[in-house]
Amino acid sequence: MVVTLQLALAASAKRVSDVYGGTAGVPDEAKNVSYRQLVISTTGGAATLGSSSGVTTATGLVIAVAGPPLVLGPFQTGAVKLSDLYAIGAGATITILGVPF
């Protein structure tokens, strides 16, 4: 199974699991599944990813619009959840292709 999701970003950091809906910044554990692999690209502007809500465009990993997508994994064990990531990028929308465990 493969999952495709999109999240519009802003000038302040968002928890990537906000893509599931519900209360912003609070992961819905029923939907917050582990992924074997994530591929993340951006449109509309650069996006910056980090591991905390304190991520800024200067401290995180930048995904450029014209650049290659970010690939996390594949993980054999110790998978990643979208709630592990935060993103920032005014005008950017990230597209996430995920392979759940």
pLDDT in tens, 50-84: 999 999 999 999 999 999 999 999 999 878 999 99
Of all residues in the chain, the percent with pLDDT exceeding 90 is: 92
pTM: 0.94
The architecture in CATH of the region 3-100 reads: Sandwich (2.60)
Q: Which is it for strands 86-88 and 47-50: parallel, antiparallel or unpaired?
A: antiparallel
| Domain locations along the chain | 3-100
pLDDT in tens, 35-56: 999 999 999 999 999 999 999 9
